[in-house]
Structure 1
Amino acid sequence: MNDAKTPESLGLLLRHTLHTVADTLTEDEFTTTRADNSRKPHRRRRILVGLGAVAIPVVLAAGAGAAILREGPEYVDTIPPQDIVMRGSVDGSRYLLRESDRTDECGRPVTGVELVEEKKNLLGSEWNTTGHEYGEYAETECGLVNDTSRYLKNPALFNDSGAEVGDSFVWVYAVHPDVTAVRITSDGYTKDLKVYEIDGAGYAPFEVPEDMNEYTAELLIDGRVFPGSEEVQKVPRP
């Protein structure tokens, strides 16, 4: 993400690991089952903040509202087809991006998307997904919730975070609603990522090539790079 993090924002994110509701996520194409409400395993939640700030080998996040790794307690279930934003695969490992159906501590909808990898959400397992939102976290009476007010005033601000899929990563960009593409360049490689509109923001997944170690991301509005949006990203490797 191209925005500075403060000790206060990091503290809020770490405290958020003690809060909120886990999800019920996966795809109708995946091998799935209905939720077993008779089983009540212990909740496990982790929030990952700042690239390199938390030593977790599976999911890395950049920015104060970037990504949340979610585990259980609900069991793998189907996802309504209308909630699926896109499908893809990395080195034979299938994944999808779906609209969030979570709620905050006051029961209000949480915006954004969830990245779901098939092999990490098999029949009988607990959900293991990453949530992505646009904006930054703010503490309210409903717990830690996402605030987009500052970001909507500046299209150069964005969140980016990723999860390991197959032998590489899927990196998700959460951008201003005016952004029409995210351009990725690396040596002779150039790709404009499609932006999907969800909940008043844009989300662009990037399937990172296995042999790519560093790239530059820029936000485009109607084909032109928006000033101040450039970010050089080193690709984390497990």
Structure 2
Amino acid sequence: MPSAKDRLSGEERRLAAAYAPGLLFDRNEPFYPVRFGVTVLREDGASPSFPRRLKVSRPDVAAVVEYAIYYDYDIQHLYDLEHVWVYIGSNGEVADVEASFHGKYLKGLLRGRTNLSNTRTSLYVQPGKHALSPLPEVFELLPGFAACTQEAAGADGLIYGDCFRGLLASDEATDQKVRRYLQTCRFTPSGVYRIWEYAHRDDLFVSWNELFAEIPVRVRKELERL
């Protein structure tokens, strides 16, 4: 279990809630985040949960809040980890935003910062897959956008990040179990997106170390349940 020093400080928790991005989900979305693993970086360094380095030593940046957003399920697999990075300026303003998109990341602010309200950026969540974009039209340009929520539901079984190798493992029987379940979750995106309110939910925000410890436990419990 993570020690007390691994938990979010009061200031980190305040920043996490204040800058939490506004997430817009399709009306028919079956899966929502179960935890946000938060890391606040005040100097250049590697992300603890995504393969990239974060540059904080910029004239317009005082800190970066990384949100590692964990879902028990993507419509195609068990385990899903998405990310948002909010760059905070020296006066507390939002200097920049980036968001994960199928293993890469996109800029999160539109030209003119029209999707920013005070300290909260609005981002759309791809139905079922949970990639993030300030423009929902991007999702429909992806090959397999429709198939992934229908006949391809559950296609990938159990997946997990490299950091969980040795802690999690899969085989064909496990993958089949996940596929059977996710086939029962098939849906058709409505194209209508609604904001999901969560910034007030203190229980959702933990440190990355706490989330790292929790994820294997959650995965095993889901496999027992299926």
More helix by share: 2
Please indicate the TM-score interval, normalised by the length of the shorter structure.
under 0.3
> Which structure's relative contact order is higher, taking Cα pairs within 8 Å and 6+ residues apart?
2
Task: Identify the structure with the greater strand proportion.
Answer: 1
